[in-house]
Amino acid sequence: MSQDRREIWVFSEVQELAFELLGKARALADQLGTQSVAVSTGSQEDPQAYVQHGADKVFVLNHAALDVFNVDTYTDAFAVLVAEQKPEVFLIGATRNGLEFAPRLSERLKTGCVTEATRLEFDAEKKFLLMDRVTLGGNLVETQICRSTPQMATVPRGIFAPLTADSTREGEIVKVDPKVKPSTTKLLESRPKTARGVKLADAPIIVSFGRGVRKKEDIGMLEQFAQIVGGVIGCSRPIAEDLHWLPEEQYVGLSGQKVSPKVYFAFGISGQIQHLTGIRNSRIIVAVNNDPKAPIFEFSDYGVVADLYQIIPALNDAVKQFGKT
C-alpha cells in the first residue's frame, strides 16, 4: 500500500542543507505526483520551517537521544521509520555526519546509496533516479542508479537551491516516538573549530592562497584584496596544518572546508587532489600560479600564469576601476 506512495524524503542535521534538499525533493515529488517529506530530529527544531520550504509532510522523531547527532541512535530510529513508510527516494545532506550515517542506514536497509551526488533526475519511465557523482579527482562523472528502494543519495551544500520560505504553505506534522537503544559510544566533549565566525561554507567569494605566498606577513595583501572584492580568506592545507599561518577551520579541501562560492580565487595553490575536491562546487574558479604546469589550471575557469605579487595589486586597481562590492 504505502509502496505506491513513492514519497521523496529528505534529512540533514544542518537545516539549511535540508532546505536545499527539499527544493529538489519538491521538484521530484511533483514529477511523480507524490509528497515531499522531511524528517526532523532535535526537539529544538520548528517542523513548520520544513513545510514553509516545500515539505508536504514532516516526521518529527521525538526522542531526547536524537537531539545530538549519533550514528547509532539515528540509524536505529531512521531504519524503523523508513522500513515502515517505504519512501521511494531518500536524500541525506552530505555533511561528515551525513556521510557516516547514510551508508550505515542503507546497509541496514540493504539498499544502495550514492554519496555526494551532484545531479539527480528521474529516467524517462520515472522509475530510477539517475544520480551523478564525480570521481577520480573530478575527471570522471559516474551516472548510477539504486536497484532497490529507497533509492538513496547524499548531497553536499550548494548543489540545489532552497525554495523561498512561504509561511502560507500547509503541511502535515507527524510525531513519531522511536525506540532507541543507548549508543555504544559516548560524546565526551565538543569544541567548535571556529572562534572568529568566518564561515567559508557560506561565503560568496573566497580568496584562497597556498605555498606560493612566501611569508606570513604577505597575508595582509590577500586580506586587502578579499576586502575589496567582498570575500573571505581561505588557504590550502599546508598553510594551516604545517605552517599554522591561518587557523585550521580556514583551510579548504576534502578534510578541511568544502566550499561552493560564486568565485573561488586560488593564489599560489598548485591543486592537490584533496584541495580540488573541496572546491569542486565553486561556480567560477580563478587560479593564479607562476607555474604554467600547475594542475589547478586544468580545473579552473580562468587560469592566470603570473607572479601573484604582481597580479594582486593590478587586480586591486582593476576592481576599484570597474567593480564595486
Site for another protein in 124-163 (CB under 8 A): 130, 133-148
Q: How many chain residues are in contact with another protein, going by CB under 8 A?
A: 94
- Grid cell digits, residue 188: 565526551
Angle between helices 71-85 and 96-109 (to 10 degrees): 50
List binders of another protein among 78-107 (CB under 8 A).
95-97, 99-101, 103-104, 106-107
- CA nearest neighbour of 187 among 68, 100, 89: 68
Give me the least distance between CB of 152 and another protein, in Å please: 9
Supply the minimum distance, in Å, between the C-beta of residue 201 and another protein: 7
Phi, psi dihedrals of residue 84, rounded to the nearest 5°: -75, -45
Q: Please enumerate in sequence order all residues whose Cβ is within 8 A of that of 138, keeping only pairs 6 or more positions apart, or say none.
A: 276, 277, 280, 299
* CB closer to another protein, 33 vs 197: 197
Q: Which of 107/172 has CB closer to another protein?
A: 107
Q: Is 225 in the site for another protein (CB under 8 A)?
A: no
Closest distance between another protein and the C-beta of residue 168, in Å? 31
φ, ψ at 203 (rounded to 5°): -75, 135
Q: Between 6 and 275, name the residue whose CB sits nearer to another protein.
A: 275
Of the residues 110, 179, 215, 293, which one makes contact with another protein according to CB under 8 A: 110
Please report, as residue ranges, which positions from 265 to 294 form the binding site for another protein (by CB under 8 A): 272-274, 277, 283-286, 292
Q: Which is nearer to another protein, 33 or 192 (CB)?
A: 192
132 pairs with which residues across the strands?
Answer: 119, 143
Part in contact with another protein (CB under 8 A); list of ranges 49-57, 172-180, 214-222, 314-322: 314-322
CB 121 within 8 A of CB 80: no
Beta carbon nearer to another protein, 54 or 93: 93
- Between helices 308-322 and 219-229, what is the axis angle to 10°? 20
- Shortest Å distance, C-beta 88 to another protein: 15
In order of 47, 149, 184, the CA distances from 3 in angstroms are 25, 9, 33
Binding of another protein by 304 (CB under 8 A): yes
Q: Which residue number, 48 or 183, has a Cβ lying nearer to another protein?
A: 183
- Cβ closer to another protein: 166 or 307? 307
We find the least distance from the C-beta atom of residue 194 to another protein, in angstroms, to be: 6
Q: Which of 81, 173, 176, 306 binds another protein (CB under 8 A)?
A: 306
- Displacement of CA 185 from its chain's centroid (Å): 26
The secondary structure of 100-135 as a DSSP string is HHHHHHHHHHT--EETT-SEEEE-TTS-SEEEEEEE
Specify the length of the chain in residues: 325
Does 249 interact with another protein (rule: CB under 8 A)? yes
Q: How far is CA 40 from CA 58, 80, 147, 183, 243, in A?
A: 7, 15, 27, 19, 41
Residue ranges in 8-67 that form contacts with another protein under rule CB under 8 A: none
Name which of residues 201 to 220 contact another protein (CB under 8 A). 201, 205
